[in-house]
Amino acid sequence: MSTLVVGLNHLTAPIELRERVTFSVETNREAITRLSAEGTLREAVIVSTCNRSEIYGVGDGEEHTLSAVRNFVCDFHGLDPRQVDGCFYHHADSAAVRHLFRVASSLDSMVLGEPHILGQVRDAFLLALESRTTGLILNQLFQKAGHVGKRVRAETEIGLRPVSVSSVAVDLASKIFGRLGQCSVLVVGAGEMSELTLESLIKRGVRQVTITNRSFDRAQALAERHGGRAIHWQHFIGILTTEDIVISSVQSDRHILLREAVEKSMIDRDHRPLFLIDLGLPRNIDPETREVYNVFLYNLDDLQSAADSNKEERRKDLPKAERIIEEEVEKFLRWQARLHLEPVVKRLRHKIDHIRQSELDDHLRKLDRLTDRERRIITALSHAIVNKILHEPTVRLKSSLDEQTLQTVRRLFDLDGEE
Amino acid sequence: MTLGLLNAAAILCYLISVGGYLGLLLGRRPAFGRLATGSLLLGMAVHFLALVHRSTVTGGVPYKDFYGSASLFAWMIALVCLLLELRHKQKAMSLFLVTIAVVLQITSAILQNIPVGARAGVAGWLFAFHVNVTMFAYAAYAISFIASMMYLIQYGRLRARRPGGWLSLLPSLDLLERVNLTSAAIGVVALSTGILTGAIWARTAWQDTPLHWDAKITWSLLTLIIYTLYIIVQKRKGWRGPRSALVAVGGFLVVVFSYTVVNLYFSKSHTFF
């Protein structure tokens, strides 16, 4: 029996295909139940996110099982198997274990170090657990995967620094203001990026959101969506005295915020720190404003270059993460080998003991004038010989834990014939 | 002998603690932080025994030799570091503080020579309290200094739009400001108490000699004024932020000057604290 994975991800399959091969909670449950009921796989878990769909299972690692799984996926989603040729990858045994550990640690993700995949892997496992399609192997494998994911995040810096414009902005805000619970945000104009940034700030618990736009109606719509208040365009300079963070993204040829205006409001706000985020192209805020005491001004380029250099930083820790994963793959394989070993040793002992017992019975029948004591001694003799002979091979098997040796023992003693 | 052993044990604990804080900073594993704080506590306990042992041998608090004074200072820094961890729930500054403590303690342990026998006129709990509370104030100022420096570095980095690198592990400006304020306030209260108890003690102890004004008092008063000024201006217009942090840095420079040059050359009755 081997652990295997069949799947496709953002590197092997185009988005059109990935979209068709996703599994919702319901279809996931249906698919894993069918896979294990039909006997294709002994155990099954499906991990499905927007960037990947992967079927993990326990079955024989032969080509026909892998293609059976592949065909099942095509059949399930109504795809022609020839259409998807080359989009699927598959791994077995140690490669499959390593693959899941890399996925759980986000090493296989589009954004290295992204935090959601670990939860998605866990949810997939819990769903399978609940549907009773997992067993000894996948239970252990997925629990280990969760552990590996956490270890990699804790011991390396691949998830540490923010790598998107909005998360860099939020990170900076928390470096200036500490906890954001006391901060208020002003959004000037509305673009996709400023809305993303606002959402991240709201998630971190900012106290108050104010929105302004040249069109008051749009400001109001946005304010309603995010639980803030809308103000008229001509008032926004006036409320700089009370805001802590300003996100600006307006289509304008001229600067909408000048140094003098900021200087004036800094006096009114007792020089409390002011964080200006200029996401406009061309820029909305006069770069001179940067010189004003206790003002922090970042434009789109600043945030983008910080995000880029953080991405580089994350990549630096890749070798460390890979080392952790190798270590854990090794551990898992040892666990699995021990699992295979025990039945072999048990069967070997059982078989030899069976031979001993039947030979002993045969011969004792022939020696019918023995006293009880003599019978006991002969029985003990048979036990002693068997134990002495089996001792060394058992110890060696346990210390080697090597699949090849196990196979040899099985074949030598013809152990697979008996259950 | 006993003192040497206790000092060595305390130094060992502090070094482990420094290693732990370093590990926490670089490896970000909470276990390192627990190890660091744990060995800091242990180190402080052993160090305390060393200090008690020392004062029984010398018959008084360390005020006339640098080595005892440095050791007491080290212990006070460790204490304030621990209070800071409890108050603000963060360990980013502890690395620096415990490093200072361990350097002071090593210097003190290597160079120590212990004058034996109590000196007349400087015993009594009021005098001991006067010395200890003043040293505690110095330790609080040391923390204010480190918080100020970290604030200035962090401020410079954020203004220069270079937020990456290992310095991104520095605490937020807001936290550093609050730490600075807390420690400056504690320092002012402790130093005022120190000056007051000193004055009361001097009155009772030196009844027969006419009171004289010591240079140390001038410098201590100056220290008090600067830190009080800091507390007042740090939320005022135009002073909030890096400017007030600079005031706190200036305060600490006066403290250092007062603890070294003034003690050595100007003061008659405050040789080493």
Token representation of residue A84: 């998807």
Question: Within this chain, do residues B95 and B128 fall inside the same structural domain, yes or no?
Answer: no
Confidence band, pLDDT 50/70/90 cuts, at residue B120: very low
What separation, in Å, do the N-terminal and C-terminal C-alpha atoms of chain B show?
25
- Residue A320 near chain B (CB below 8 Å): no
Q: Among all residues of chain A, which has the CA nearest to that of B237? A: A270
Return the percentage of chain B with pLDDT > 70, whole number. Answer: 86
Confidence band, pLDDT 50/70/90 cuts, at residue B208: low
Plot region of A53 (φ>0 → left; ψ -120 to 50 → alpha; else → beta): beta
Q: What residues of B are in contact with residue A309 (Cβ under 8 Å)?
A: 164
R_g (Cα) of chain B, nearest Å? 19
Provide the pLDDT for residue B273: 64
Question: Within this chain, do residues B145 and B272 fall inside the same structural domain, yes or no?
Answer: yes
How far is the alpha carbon of B240 from chain A, nearest alpha carbon, in Å? 6
CATH class, domain A2-160, is: alpha beta
Average pLDDT of chain B? Answer: 83
CA distance readout (Å), A160 to A106, A152, A157, B243? 13, 11, 5, 32
Give CA–CA dist B167/B169, Å, rounded.
Answer: 5
Quick check: helix, strand or coil at residue A119? helix
Give CA–CA dist A277/A137, Å, rounded.
Answer: 50
Neighbouring-strand partners of residue A56: A5, A45
Average pLDDT of chain A? Answer: 90
Cis peptide before B163 (omega within 30 of 0): no
Token representation of residue B99: 């490093």
Confidence band, pLDDT 50/70/90 cuts, at residue A343: confident
Q: With 0-12 CB in 10 A as exposed, 13-18 as middle and 19+ as buried, what is A413?
A: middle
Confidence band, pLDDT 50/70/90 cuts, at residue B269: low
Provide the pLDDT for residue B1: 62
Question: Within this chain, do residues B89 and B147 fall inside the same structural domain, yes or no?
Answer: no
Q: Is the pLDDT of residue B235 over 70?
A: yes
Angle B71-B76-B77 from CA coordinates, rounded to 5° = 95
Q: Is the dihedral of CA A171, A172, A178, A182 positive or negative?
A: negative
Return the percentage of chain A with pLDDT > 90, whole number. Answer: 61
Q: Is the dihedral of CA B51, B55, B61, B64 positive or negative?
A: negative
Cis peptide before B62 (omega within 30 of 0): no
**Taking a C-beta distance cutoff of 8 angstroms, is the pair A212, A187 a contact?**
yes
Task: Please state whether beta strands A245-248 and A274-278 pair in parallel, antiparallel, or not at all (unpaired).
Answer: parallel
Provide the pLDDT for residue A136: 92
**Taking a C-beta distance cutoff of 8 angstroms, is the pair A118, A164 a contact?**
no
Question: Within this chain, do residues B72 and B128 fall inside the same structural domain, yes or no?
Answer: no
Residue A293 to residue B238, Cβ atoms within 8 A: yes
Residue A175 to residue B159, Cβ atoms within 8 A: no
Provide the pLDDT for residue A35: 92
Provide the pLDDT for residue A385: 94
Axis-axis angle for helices B173-205, B242-257 (nearest 10): 30
Quick check: helix, strand or coil at residue A55? strand
pLDDT tens, residue by residue, A228-237: 999 999 888 8
pLDDT tens, residue by residue, B94-107: 888 899 889 988 88
Confidence band, pLDDT 50/70/90 cuts, at residue A81: confident
**Segments forming the whole domain that contains residue B86:** 1-118
Question: Within this chain, do residues B220 and B144 fall inside the same structural domain, yes or no?
Answer: yes
Q: Minimum mean pLDDT among A96-100, A352-356, B60-64, B222-226: which range?
A: B60-64
Q: Among all residues of chain B, which has the CA nearest to that of A273? A: B241
Give CA–CA dist A330/A321, Å, rounded.
Answer: 14
Q: Among the residues of A237-317, which ranges form H helices?
A: 259-268, 300-316
Question: Within this chain, do residues B194 and B85 fall inside the same structural domain, yes or no?
Answer: no
Provide the pLDDT for residue A183: 93
Residue where one domain finishes, among candidates B97, B118, B139: B118
Provide the pLDDT for residue A91: 93
Provide the pLDDT for residue A94: 92
Token representation of residue B32: 């390192």
Question: Within this chain, do residues B250 and B133 fall inside the same structural domain, yes or no?
Answer: yes
Q: Is the pLDDT of residue A418 over 60?
A: no
Q: Is the pLDDT of residue B211 over 70?
A: no
What CATH code is carried by the domain that includes residue B29?
1.20.120
Mutate to test the interface with B, among A150, A271, A278 (most CBs of B within 10 A): A271
Q: Minimum mean pLDDT among A313-317, B202-206, B237-241: which range?
A: B202-206
Token representation of residue A175: 């470096």
Residue A178 to residue B172, Cβ atoms within 8 A: yes
Mutate to test the interface with B, among A172, A175, A272 (most CBs of B within 10 A): A175
Stretch B83-103: mean pLDDT? 85
A 264-283 → B contacts, CB under 8 A = 267, 270-273
pLDDT tens, residue by residue, B27-55: 767 788 889 999 999 999 999 998 888 77
Question: Within this chain, do residues B13 and B98 fall inside the same structural domain, yes or no?
Answer: yes
Mutate to test the interface with A, among B24, B155, B166, B172 (most CBs of A within 10 A): B172
Q: Which of the two residues, A400 and B244, has the higher pLDDT score?
A: B244
Split into its structural domains, chain B has a count of 2
Domain positions in chain A: 2-160, 165-313, 339-412
Question: Within this chain, do residues B86 and B150 fall inside the same structural domain, yes or no?
Answer: no
Give CA–CA dist A112/A285, Å, rounded.
Answer: 33
Question: Within this chain, do residues B255 and B273 fall inside the same structural domain, yes or no?
Answer: yes
Q: Is A50 annotated as catalytic?
A: yes
Confidence band, pLDDT 50/70/90 cuts, at residue A419: very low
Q: Which of the two residues, A161 and A262, has the higher pLDDT score?
A: A262
Give CA–CA dist B143/B139, Å, rounded.
Answer: 7
Return the percentage of chain A with pLDDT > 70, whole number. Answer: 99
Residue A270 to residue B236, Cβ atoms within 8 A: yes
Instruction: State the DSSP code for A51.
Output: S
Residue A200 identity (one-letter amino acid)? S
Quick check: helix, strand or coil at residue A39? coil
Question: Within this chain, do residues B87 and B137 fall inside the same structural domain, yes or no?
Answer: no
Give CA–CA dist A288/A255, Å, rounded.
Answer: 11
Residue where one domain finishes, among candidates B118, B148, B165: B118
Domain with residues A165-313, CATH architecture:
3-Layer(aba) Sandwich (3.40)
Instruction: State the DSSP code for A43.
Output: E
Q: What residues of A are in contact with residue B236 (Cβ under 8 Å)?
A: 270
Q: Is the pLDDT of residue B119 over 60?
A: no
pLDDT tens, residue by residue, A136-158: 999 999 999 999 999 999 888 88
pLDDT tens, residue by residue, B144-193: 999 999 999 999 989 988 776 666 778 899 999 999 999 999 999 999 99
Provide the pLDDT for residue A185: 94
Residue where one domain finishes, among candidates B118, B147, B178: B118
Residue A364 identity (one-letter amino acid)? L
Question: Within this chain, do residues B114 and B129 fall inside the same structural domain, yes or no?
Answer: no
Q: With 0-12 CB in 10 A as exposed, 13-18 as middle and 19+ as buried, what is A300?
A: middle
Residues 6 or more apart from A70 whose CB is under 8 A from it? A6, A81, A88, A90
Catalytic residue, candidates A50, A74, A87, A183: A50
Residue B240 to residue A272, Cβ atoms within 8 A: yes
Residue A42 identity (one-letter amino acid)? R
How far is the alpha carbon of B36 from chain A, nearest alpha carbon, in Å? 18
- Residue tagged 């006419």 (tokens): B210
Q: Is the pLDDT of residue B121 over 60?
A: no
Provide the pLDDT for residue B127: 80
Q: Minimum mean pLDDT among A174-178, A260-264, B60-64: which range?
A: B60-64
ipTM of the predicted assembly exceeds 0.85? no
Q: Is the pLDDT of residue A297 over 80?
A: yes
